[in-house]
Amino acid sequence: TQLYANEAFTFDATGAKSGQFVDVSTVSGEVVQHARTDKLGRVFLDGGLAAGTYLMTSGSGKSRCVQQITVKPCPTDVSPMGPLRFTNCPSAVPTNLRPVFGGESFNPDASQMQALAGPHFGKQVPILAATAHEITLASPQAAGLPTGASPIWLTNTANHEIAESVPMYVYDLQGRLTQVRVPSGSETHLMLNLQPRNCPATVHVNILSGPVDFGGGRTSLDTPLHNGAVDIPIHSMPGATGPFNVGWNLGNVVFANAVITPFPKGVRDGSQDAWVGNTHSWHKGNCDYSETIVGGVITKSVVVEHCPTTGKVKQRRTEETTGDGGRVVIIENTGECAEHELTQHLFWRMTYDNNNKLVKNEVSQDGGKTYKETKN
């Protein structure tokens, strides 16, 4: 993780338990922060740290754990951040690895973000570390995610911004050595198995050490998996004996068989959500809400307020983004609520530029068919 001077961030205090104190000190031993971990063993430093190298120390005795981090000086060419979005996502992630995502406008306080993944986005994945431009998630194995493809649905609970990542492919590639009987006696084979089995993929295998090869003097090879498995013979070099080490990793992967559920279904603000296409709707109190989301950005939002006495629509507020980065807000007062002082059916239309400056204010008295500019 790239950390910059005075930048707020959350870090995972390795080995620390919930509620345990962590000391942040310079390499010379000066303690500059003394913070308590949250229930996930994380620490949030709101003011960040000055540029330099620091030691994060938790526990004592045999359980004492020390981490080292480096904080770089602030870059001079920092561009202003836009809305919450992912910019760099891992395409394939081993089930035991913590995936790291790059982006913009992440909340550096990881406790104020929520990441969902898995079938129907039914699994919450802990966010262990965060800056404004990078987050680290718990491993899929720790989060209980199955193998296969899934985007990450990220919500900043502080401002309700949302973003969806491209799918990451969670896989589990295991290998073992076994003896296979052959006419001359026995032969050592490397057996590799991939989950999910229906993912077309290639594995890269290489001899790390020892007097063996894959035949013909080859010490590395790339071979396709068939139904998630491959059997690779390992040959001893003529006249040589001794231990050997072999390594493997996933090569080219085809994700065409991935089945992606595009939007989560869950609970927001205590009310049941509904999704139709890319429009998210929910109800709370006397209001109905909906948001249309394209590429993780809210392009249209509607709030319909009902009269608490009659249940009729009291006011409807619609906001849509424009192509130049501005927005248009239309407020309709129906005049149907006895508790509202306005009984006339009116529309107001307000146009804002990309700097959120009001550039036009209009009113309509004919049901929104025509508008007349007003200074009020």
Give 320-368 pLDDT, tens digit per residue: 988 888 889 998 988 877 665 556 788 989 898 887 788 888 999 888 8
Query: Beta partners for 100?
Result: 136
Residue 223 neighbours by CB under 8 Å, 6+ apart: 202, 203, 205, 230, 232
Q: Measured over all CA atoms, what is the biggest interatomic distance in the chain, rounded to whole angstroms?
A: 99
Q: Is the pLDDT of residue 156 over 80?
A: yes
CA 100 to CA 123: how far, in whole Å?
A: 18
Of 130-134, 255-259, 367-371, give the lowest mean pLDDT range.
Answer: 255-259
- The pLDDT confidence band at residue 119, using thresholds 50, 70 and 90, is confident
Percent of the chain with pLDDT over 70: 86
Question: Where does residue 52 rank: exposed (0-12), middle (13-18), buried (19+ CB within 10 A)?
Answer: middle
The predicted structure's pLDDT at residue 102: 93
Is the pTM above the cut of 0.75?
A: no
Residue 297 confidence (pLDDT): 61
* CB-neighbour burial class of residue 5 (10 A; exposed 0-12, middle 13-18, buried 19+): middle
Say if residues 114 and 159 touch (Cβ distance below 8 Å): no
Pairing assessment for the beta strands 279-284 and 287-294 based on DSSP bridges: antiparallel
Instruction: Write down the pLDDT at residue 142.
Output: 93
| pLDDT for the residue numbered 293 | 67
How far apart (Å, rounded) are the C-alpha atoms in residues 120 and 289?
22
Per-residue pLDDT band for 118 (boundaries 50, 70, 90) equals confident
